[in-house]
Structures are given as structure tokens and as C-alpha cells.
Structure 1
């Protein structure tokens, strides 16, 4: 299978996912801008509240990702009749996980009392998190149906629904943040309620889309109501829990590093945030490719075509590396221009330009580990990748970053650059380890294939 033809097949699946993910990221941007026009306290409340909220939604998304490779393998094996029951079991699991996430969000509200926030920001951050948490069950429903749809090679609904949600978020914020047409002016708290409302609208749109579109007719998850099937629940959990932990490890590591950077002062925080924000936008490309590769590898695996699965994975790694090289060159060549988009402060600009160099270097290992993780999910290999991510982020990245930033042990004090050097090292370890695991798993499957 030539690289260009294979890359095209992956890209057809991936580009709607990428736009949908950018639209979801855009919602956070809109929230920050619109809350910031009320007051600095409202912007701070949204930012602080979102730090916990983001960890919850990313973990929830990981937990529910198991549906995609499981349905894709059923497609490959031509076991279409098993898909409705499997998807329905995943919806039960998603609703339960969403309700647990609400409980966790409310249990974490007292954490804000210990962050040294002003009384006003503390109160608004708690009420923002409380409000936005009510949308988590809807988010869970959407993610399950998105995983089911993408496994059937239908990724455009995710893009369209995410764009509708982004467009709807703006007037919902306008009504609830500023208080128009008789609605109370709730500021940051209104932002939370608007986001929760848009999550429920997204879930409703998914339900309508799947009920109306003929492409889901053969595998319709709502053909009849079934009870909870515990063996299937266990299969989903066995695959999904390690993915959820992996996602939590990564997002908590970045949040933890951001908190540690705060000790270095305002200039370092601002420059770090610029590099992290732009790097996060670029990451949407390999993340979308990773999701597409999960589906394609799982379909080939389900059909027992292990040579094809291995070839799709190998070509996916090459595609990820090409995109990483393009992203890295762009960041390194235009670091000054990118920094100028974010700030006019001379000190922040100078440091951000330096950190963007590392953000460019970062693309190679970050894209490779994301793509390799997606391929391994297609093979239903999630436990060892989870352990590798824990090692990379919690045992290498954070301790090494702290030592390099503050000059502990044999290291000279590097400031914020130390954290970025450590991130590059940690992600390089993750990328190389996951590539080795992919090689090992794929060759093992080939060796068990009858010739």
C-alpha cells in the first residue's frame, strides 16, 4: 500500500476530527474572551475553574474512547449485529461516568479555598465549576456516539456538531454572562451554564443525527432497549480505564508544570502559556490522525488482516513525522511572529521566542507518541502505554523539569526553559517506547497469523 494512497485514506478520516477539535478549543477561547470583558476577576475565575474542569473532561473522553476500536474491530470482522448492543452498553457506562464526574467536580470545590485566591475569584470559580459540571453526562453521551460514528468511518458529524456548538456558545454566553433579554448577568458563572447548555444541545444533535441518517441503519444503537450486560461493561472498562488514566496523566502533568512555572514569576508564566497554547493548537493535527489510525488499524485487526494493520500503522508513523517536521519548521522559522501575536511586552516576547524553539522541537516527539498511542489502541493495547505515559510524565518530566528549572543536583538553573527541555526528553522517551511496543505487538500478531 503506497504511502501517499494510505496517507490520503487516513487524512480523509482525520481532517473533520481536527476541525471539530479546533472548534472545541475555540469554545474555551470564546469563554475566556467574553468573561474577560466583564472583569479581571471573572476571567481569573473561568481560567482557574477550567483547570479542574479540563482534567475532568479529558479523563472522561479517554475513559469512553474504548468504543471506537471495539466497534471498528466488529466492522472489520463483519459482525455488524453486535454493534448496537455494544454501543448501548457504552452509553450506559458514559452516563454513569458523567454522573460520577459531576460528583467529583463538586467534591473538588473546596480546593479553591487553598489556592490563595481573592474572595470574589474563589466564589466565582466555585460557582463556574459547579455550573459547567452539569453538562458532563451530555459530554459523555456525545463522546460515545462520536466514537461509534468514527468507527463506521463517519467523522464529519463530529465536525459539524462541534461547529454548531461553538456558534451557539457565543449567543448563550452573551445572554448569561452580560444579562440580556431578562436573563441575569452572571459573569463567569453564566459562562459555565452556557457551556453546559451547549453540551446538552450537542448530545441532542448527535441523537437526532444518528436516528435520521441512513448510514447508521444497519448498526443503529437505539433499535431496542437492552439491560446492562456486565461482561461487555468489563470489556469496555478494561480497555477504557487505562486510556482514561493515560489522558489524565498527560493533562495533569501539563497543569502541574504550569503551576510550578508560576514560582518563576509573571514573565515566565506568560511566556510559558504562549508556547503551550500554540503547541496545543498544533497538537490537534497529530491527535486527529491518531484517532483516524485507531479506527483504520482496528478495522484491519478485526478482519484478521494483521499485515495490513501493521502497514497502516507504519505509514501513519511516517505521516505523523512529516506533519511534525512541517510544524516544527513553521514554529522555529516564525517564532518571533507567533510571539508577537500574543504579547507586546518586551520581556515576555523575548522569553516566549526562546520557548517556542523548544515547542517546535517538541513537535517530533509529541506527534510520534500521539500517533503511536492511536495505533496501539487499534490493537486494543492500552495498559502498557498507560504505564509508559506515567513513567514519561510523572517519573521523568515533572521531576527533571523541576530540577532543571530551579537548578537542583547537577543541573544549572534554567528557569522556564528547564521545564521545556524536560518535556522534550520525557516525550522522546514516550515516543521511542511506544514505537518499540507497536513493533513488538504488530510482529507478535503477524507471527500468530496462519500462512
Structure 2
């Protein structure tokens, strides 16, 4: 049976011009298992680290919710800006993953320290720019007709938490370096350390325990900003002392910025940042548009989106591992192995997505009940979770394919596809179905509210999955022909 599956997969992995060549040992059941195991070893610590990072935001909202509604509103508003900024920064810094993975594959270990030092300079610049943009974004609060006290607290939250952005960007540079040399467990351990620190300092500062001032939601901002600097310090300390980093140790001497290399990293990283911004801002726009339909609609939407985001961490972790696997193979000038690794990663993501889709569809009522006891919210949330189940396969395929493409050091095409999928198709269709404007020729008779927006998201993710998968196929074949 395993040989039969191997033959089927070989038809997918091999390029068209290889049809007359004998099947390579690369496609044997043993090597299939070996590649899958290698990707899993990279992905599972990243997964736990991602969940721990998401857990910081969850802890902020959950703990502030026990103070007052005004404090919770301020933190929620501030966190909406913070989440968009850090996701964009994270994507922009991801160029170092591809750069170092290629250098590892090529055996160019002597150039890795230089690349990491330049990535740190880039991180410092990106972090400072992000800090300025976050503070400017608080001007949006003046146009939301907020209570003056909530506006002031939300703005103060952003002003304080933004102080952690330079540390966050520098940490992501070292994060990408570590994962690209196959060291993902430090990422997991440091993220868990950050989560524990964040929860402890939240407890101290939100509620004023142990004689410390009671800061409410602002305490969350202080805790998270301090946590970013702690995680950076912990990452530096780990790299300094762990033997695995000796061959590529980046802190041997001081080095000034080398602008041509930083510009090259920005050319790789900025399209990824724009891609992440397009996706998260589209989801954020949907949340704002759904809010006009009342508490039940917006609550059900947020719950369904929160659970879908947690499940998404698994294929995202596979994707981060794929950047390393594909990048290292291309660095070795082995495009056949890069293609093989890419499609194994896509297949593993789809396999998980099939299980998660079945789980969500079957247990959607229980999932909704775990979040809320309100019958109306539970019923609508269970309905929206059907859409979440429906887009599991396309969501997993698009993130795996886009990360595999980045492993080839190609980032602009995924950006163009994602912007097209979310801002040209998903959001406009969601507005037509959800809002039912009278001027739209295909608008329904009555607004579909949250359901209409989720239909748009399903379409957008499907378009992204199809186009990115086709793009990965063409790119991998081109690299094979070029070799």
C-alpha cells in the first residue's frame, strides 16, 4: 500500500520533463517518512512557540476583563493596532530565514554571522519605524467617537507597548537565524518563558499586587513591552552559550550597517510584511464592519475567528519549517529535493487541515459553548464555524505554498496573490453579501451580516490557495529546468 502511495505522490512531485527518467530513490516510502519527520522536528517547537506568543494577547484581554469594561475596551482597541503592527514586522523580518537557510545549504557557514549582524541592524530600523507608525495610528481613535477616557487609555496603551517593537524586530532576526540552522527548541522555550513572564507581570501591575501600583490595562502594555526585551536578552544569552551556534556565532565582533545587504533583505522581507498586513487588515476590517450588526453578531464572529486563528498555527508552523527545508535544499543546488520538500509540506498541512475541518464541523456546538453561555451567540457561532471548517483546506494550502515559495527567495508573487485574494475578492464580496448595498447588482435582498463576510473569506482563501499552489508548481519546475 505504501508503494502505491509513493507512486501516486511521484506523479505530483516530479516535473513534466522528468517523465522518461526512472523514479528516484527520493520518492521511496522511507524518504517520504524521513522528509515528513524532518519537517515535523522543525515545526512542533515553532508551533508551541507560536501558541505561547498568541497566549500573551489572550492573557492581556482575559486578565483586563476582570477590571472594568472601560479598561477592557481600551486594551482591545490598543491591541488591534499592536497586532497589525507586530504581524507586519514579523513578516518583514522573515527574509533572514531564507537567507540563512540558503547559506546553510551551500555550506557557507562563514557568511552567516555577517548576515545575522546585518539582519539585527535591519531589525533595529524596522522596529523604530514600526514604533513611530504605531504611535501615529492612535490618531485613528479620535475618529471613532470613543469616550474620552477610553481614547486616552487606549492611546497610552499603544504608546507604552510600542517601546517593545525594536526588541521584537531584533528578536525575530535571531528567531529566523535559529530556525534556519535547525534550532527551533530555543524558540519554543523562550516563547514559553515570555508567556510566563507576561502573565506574572500582568497579575502584578493590572491588579496592583505586592505593593505595586494598580495600572489596569496599562499594566498589560508595560508587561508586554518588557517581555519583548526579556525575550531578546534570553535569545542572545542562549546563542552565546549553546554549542549548536558555535560554527555560525554572530557576536564575535562589532560591525556597522552594510546598506546594500540590508536593502537586499528589505527587498525580500517587505513583500512578506505587506502580505501579512493585507491578510490581518482584511480580517480586522471585517471585524469592524460586522460590529454594526450588534453584540451577538460581533461576539460570534470574534469567537469563530479566534478559534480558527488558533487552529491556523499548525499549518503556519509547517510553513515556517518549509522555508528552512526548501531554502537549505536550494542552497545545496538541489532543486529536486527542494520541490520534494515543498510538496511534502503542503501535503502534511492539507492532512492536518482535513482533520481540523472534520473536528470543527462535528464539534462546532461544543466549541461555541466553551467560549460563551449566551444561546444566541452560541447558535450563530456554531453556524460561522461551518465556514471555518470549509476554509481549513484552502487556508492550510495557501500558507504552506506561500512559505515554500519564500524558501526559493521569491516573495513578491505571494504578496500580489494575497492582496488580490483578500482586497479584490474576499473583502468586496463580503461587503456585498454582508451589507447588501442597494447599488450592488448581485447583492442579496437583505444583509447576510457576518455570514456574508465569511463567505467572502472562504472565496478569498480558495483563490489564494489555487493561485499559490499553481505558482509553487511553476516555480519549482523552472528551478529544475534551470539546474
Fold similarity call, TM over 0.5: yes
Give the one of 424, 446, 450 matched to 1:416. Answer: 450
- Is the aligned partner of 1:433 residue 2:462? no
Partners of 1:282 and 1:120 lie apart in 2 by 36
Partners of 1:4 and 1:431 lie apart in 2 by 25
Give the one of 208, 223, 245 matched to 1:216. Answer: 245
Aligned to 1:442: 476
Deviation at 1:7, TM superposition (A): 1.4
- Residues 350-392 of structure 1 show CA distances to partners (whole Å, capped at 9, x for unaligned) of 1111100000111111111000011001001100110111100
Give the one of 343, 346, 360 matched to 1:317. Answer: 346
Partners of 2:137 and 2:450 lie apart in 1 by 29
Q: CA RMSD in A?
A: 0.9
- Is the aligned partner of 1:67 residue 2:104? no
TM-score (norm 1): 0.98
Aligned to 1:92: 121
Deviation at 1:107, TM superposition (A): 1.4
Give the one of 252, 257, 262 matched to 2:291. Answer: 262
Give the one of 224, 227, 237 matched to 2:256. Answer: 227
Written as runs of structure 1 = structure 2, the 5 A alignment for 1:307-346 is 307-346=336-375
Aligned to 2:379: 350
Deviation at 1:4, TM superposition (A): 2.9
Aligned to 1:299: 328
Aligned to 1:141: 170
Aligned to 2:12: none
Deviation at 1:138, TM superposition (A): 0.8
Unaligned runs of 5+ in 1: none
- Residues 166-211 of structure 1 show CA distances to partners (whole Å, capped at 9, x for unaligned) of 1111221122112233322111111101110111110000010001
Partners of 1:220 and 1:6 lie apart in 2 by 27
Partners of 2:408 and 2:254 lie apart in 1 by 30
- Residues 12-59 of structure 1 show CA distances to partners (whole Å, capped at 9, x for unaligned) of 100000000000111111111111111111111111100001111000
Aligned to 1:32: 61
Written as runs of structure 1 = structure 2, the 5 A alignment for 1:102-141 is 102-141=131-170
- Is the aligned partner of 1:19 residue 2:48? yes
Secondary structure in 1 matching 2:111: helix
TM-score (norm 2): 0.92
- Is the aligned partner of 1:289 residue 2:323? no
Secondary structure in 2 matching 1:134: helix
- Residues 318-374 of structure 1 show CA distances to partners (whole Å, capped at 9, x for unaligned) of 111101000000000000000101111111111111100000111111111000011
- Residues 45-93 of structure 1 show CA distances to partners (whole Å, capped at 9, x for unaligned) of 1111000011110000010000011000000000101000000000000
Deviation at 1:249, TM superposition (A): 0.6
Written as runs of structure 1 = structure 2, the 5 A alignment for 1:382-421 is 382-408=411-437, 409-412=441-444, 413-421=447-455
Written as runs of structure 1 = structure 2, the 5 A alignment for 1:131-210 is 131-210=160-239
Deviation at 1:120, TM superposition (A): 1.8
